[in-house]
């Protein structure tokens, strides 16, 4: 094989392996609420809700959000916060804070624009502490789907495994 083709092939395989490791880590590092966390940040994939509406307004569907946690003192009235909505089926919501009430040094209750309240224990972060990546979200959406994971991750690895068995068989056959 020519040297340029080997370099290109090794780059493609390296990118593919990094993609597989990232996807697997994303899927394995989910907490009880279905949110992954890496290096002190939450990773949230914006998806359509069951009713076909966007899960999180202000962000396109299939956008990957990197949400950096903020302290209770850093959340101000008028800011929008991401939080776990337990009664709504552990989904992530994104609502504006209208008032905050300090309960203790570690606990604050945020009163939201939609006339609900949420404990600081369930707050992920604010809009200002969030970075959005639309392309990565689309890629992750495909990879985490059943068929996407099967055809992009499992099937190629299965083919590589079969090829290695064939290569070993062929080498053993040549030695005899």
Q: What is the mean pLDDT of each run of 10 residues along the chain (176 residues)?
A: 85 89 84 80 80 73 88 86 78 86 87 87 88 85 86 89 92 85
Output the pTM of the full model: 0.75
Q: How far apart are CA 59 and CA 121, in angstroms?
A: 24
* Residue in the block written with tokens 């990197």: 66
Helices 134-144, 3-28: crossing angle, 10 deg rounding:
80
Q: Please, are residues 40 and 68 in contact by the beta-carbon 8 Å criterion?
A: yes
Q: What pLDDT was estimated at residue 158?
A: 93
Q: What pLDDT was estimated at residue 5?
A: 87
Phi, psi of 74 (to 5 degrees): -80, -15
In 41-122 the beta strands, taken as DSSP E runs, fall at 41-45, 64-67, 80-85, 91-102, 108-112, 117-119
């Amino acid at each position: 094989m020519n040297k340029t083709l080997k370099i290109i092939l090794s780059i493609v395989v390296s990118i593919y392996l990094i993609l597989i490791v990232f996807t697997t880590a994303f899927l394995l590092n989910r907490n009880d609420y279905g949110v992954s966390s890496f290096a002190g940040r939450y990773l949230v994939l914006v998806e359509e809700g069951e009713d076909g509406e966007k899960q999180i307004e202000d962000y396109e569907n299939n956008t990957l959000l990197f949400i950096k946690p903020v302290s209770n003192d850093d959340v101000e009235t008028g800011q929008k916060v991401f939080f776990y909505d337990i009664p709504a089926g552990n989904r992530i919501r994104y609502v504006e804070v209208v008032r905050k009430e300090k309960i203790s040094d570690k606990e604050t209750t945020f009163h939201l624009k939609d006339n609900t309240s949420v404990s600081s224990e369930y707050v992920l972060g604010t809009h200002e502490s969030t970075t959005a990546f639309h392309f990565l979200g689309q890629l992750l959406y495909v990879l985490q789907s059943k068929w996407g994971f099967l055809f992009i991750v499992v099937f190629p690895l299965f083919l590589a495994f079969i090829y290695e068995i064939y290569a070993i068989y062929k080498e053993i056959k040549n030695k005899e």
